[in-house]
Amino acid sequence: MSLLPYLLNETPLIPSRQWISYFTPEEVLRPLDSALNQIAALDKDVSISLDKDKFQANIDVQQFKPEELTVKLNDDNTVTVEGKHEEQQDEHGYISRHFVRRYVLPEDCDIKGLQSKLSSDGVLSITAPKKPEHKQVEYKQIPIVRTGPIKRIQDKGKSEPTPKKKASHKQ
């Protein structure tokens, strides 16, 4: 079938009413609605918090075994969390799962203190403490303690000559 007759024809391509009647609006929008629901469900499975002490991300990973999860720190201060398992049978048939999430750590986070913990109810927590702030130098008053006298030692080169005693003449 050639497209040339359609290109040369001045009437626009309009689907026939018969074709349109095959699909209801609900049937056309159902895949989009399903995809939006899946995205919303993913957002409910993740919470991120940043407070004065730390960055924390909590991810619901109860569908994965601990050995199916990885947490990696990348050179650009991002943390990559990945979960993957091959096809498994569940109550509806067979399913395989795979997700990747990346988090950019704030610059004031200490990457040396980065931790990941998996709770018994399937929540993976990733935390990074904030770096300590550089505080202004605080001064501490040092008390002065009084002591006894301290001998002075003078340099020999700078010592003053001792006055000569005048000879007394006895007569």
Q: What is the mean pLDDT of residues 80-105?
A: 91
Domain layout of the chain by residue ranges = 44-129
pLDDT band at 132 (very low <50, low <70, confident <90, very high): confident
* Highest-confidence segment of 3-17, 51-65, 132-146: 51-65
Q: What is the DSSP letter of 23?
A: S
pTM recorded for the entire structure: 0.53
| Amino acid at position 60, single letter | D
Of residues 84 and 137, more confidently modeled = 84
- Return the CATH fold of 44-129: Immunoglobulin-like (2.60.40)
The number of angstroms, rounded, from the C-alpha of 152 to the middle of its chain's C-alpha atoms is 63
